[in-house]
Structure 1
């Protein structure tokens, strides 16, 4: 089956849900060190590329938070904001009704938190963090909000 035929059978609410799910699978922060490979921060955990090592968000929250700087606690707060957006998109598919402002606000707030995480990591010597998740989260929030707002003005 062709992709265009498959996408034509997906409802707008399902399409929004797929977009929200997709942004949750992308790295939210890419930390580049002066020596060594980058570290990728996802909504679900950290991935160190050399040696390959994964620290899940639950391990981070319940095993490794003692003595860490405050800015890094914005990461789990951002995940909570993202989960609000995801829940809003899921409810839209189940019930056929959505206040897209809730979805967009959750994504926008998650983007703010990830910007703070990247800023905090970037002030450390020998490290630069790129808030790619902020860009994706804000772009999706803007797209969802403005595309929905413009479709309502046409109705």
Structure 2
């Protein structure tokens, strides 16, 4: 499941990101997104059915998908500038979340997201400006030294 979030009122931060190199801007957004998704990651693990321990040990927060997830994601035409993923990657999560023929649903991912989505947005709002400032200062120091990566 893909959840898109549209945020308004961050125009100045968007302009500041635009002044950075594309790869640098992507790094800024990834770092902030990973930090913002940590509370969600903790919440779904606490809510996951604790049968064997495999489910809550799977997944996490990051920019990589499993091979199967990547194949499914490749079909999308609306790829974002930066994508960060969070949640379980154990295939057993799907029937646990939505139920199956012989078993009832035990939702844990959606309730965790519903509880933490506002906190995630607040983290983005709080962390994005300072992260851009730190990164721009680092880039300026690097440029002043005449070096760069």
**TM-score bracket relative to the smaller structure:** 0.3 to 0.5
Relative to its length, the structure with more helix (as a share) is 1
Higher relative contact order (CA 8 A, sep 6+): 2
TM-score by length of 1: 0.32
Relative to its length, the structure with more strand (as a share) is 1
